[in-house]
Structure 1
Amino acid sequence: MSVGHGFHATMTARPGRGDELVRLLLDAPSLPNTDCVVFLVSRSAASPDVVQVTEGWVSREAHAAFFATEQAQTLVARLQPLLAGESEYADEVPVGGKAAF
């Protein structure tokens, strides 16, 4: 399945809440969604409260449809109190690579 839409987000958790942010993201409802082709959660080695997410979706429409669901809105609401500020987003379309966890 090819990726037609994606982005990279950098989030900064409130001090000491990086682990909680990572756990919440790894339980994200988009993970079992077949339209979500890439969902990678990373964190800064130097600053454990800085967390990055790379997402790749089959289309912009599929991403928008998912984020219009109650499930996704609940996730966003749960994320907000953990964040120290606004997340930064960069346009990115994952094209390949390797992941082994």
Structure 2
Amino acid sequence: MTSQHGFHATITAQPGKGANLVALLLSAPSLTNDDCLVFLVARSAGNPDLVFVTEGWVSKEAHARFFAGDIAQAYVARFAPLVAGESTYVDAVPVGGKAILA
């Protein structure tokens, strides 16, 4: 399966809440969804409250369908209080590479 829809998000956590945001992202319900092919979380080395997420989905429709569901909406409700301001999203469809995770 290949990604047909994806994005790269830059998210700023509330001051001092970067670790909490990373922990929540690493427990995202997307990780267990077969339509989510890539879910990568990264953190700025210079600013621990700056977090990056890259996602790749089989389709835009699959992504929308998943996030319209109750599980995803409950997750978003937990996510929102940790975020400061507006996140930025850039259209990015993952096409390959390598991930080494600790």
Q: Do they superpose with TM above 0.5?
A: yes
Matched residues, number: 101
Q: Which segments of 5 or more consecutive residues in structure 2 lack a partner in the other structure?
A: none
Q: In structure 2, what is the equivalent of residue 12 of structure 1? A: 12
Taking structure 1 as the reference length, the TM-score comes to 0.98
| Whole-angstrom distance in 2 between the partners of 1:66 and 1:84 | 24
Task: For 1:30, give the aligned amino acid.
Answer: S
- Corresponding residue for 1:52? 52
Q: Structure 1: state its 5+ residue gaps.
A: none
| Identity score, percent | 67
RMSD: 0.5
- Normalising by structure 2, report the TM-score: 0.97
Displacement, 1:75?
1.1
How far the C-alpha of 1:9 sits from its partner, in A, is 0.6
In structure 2, the residue corresponding to 1:97 is in which secondary structure?
coil
Detail structure 1 runs of 4+ shifted over 4 Å in the superposition: none
- Determine the structure 2 residue equivalent to 1:21: 21
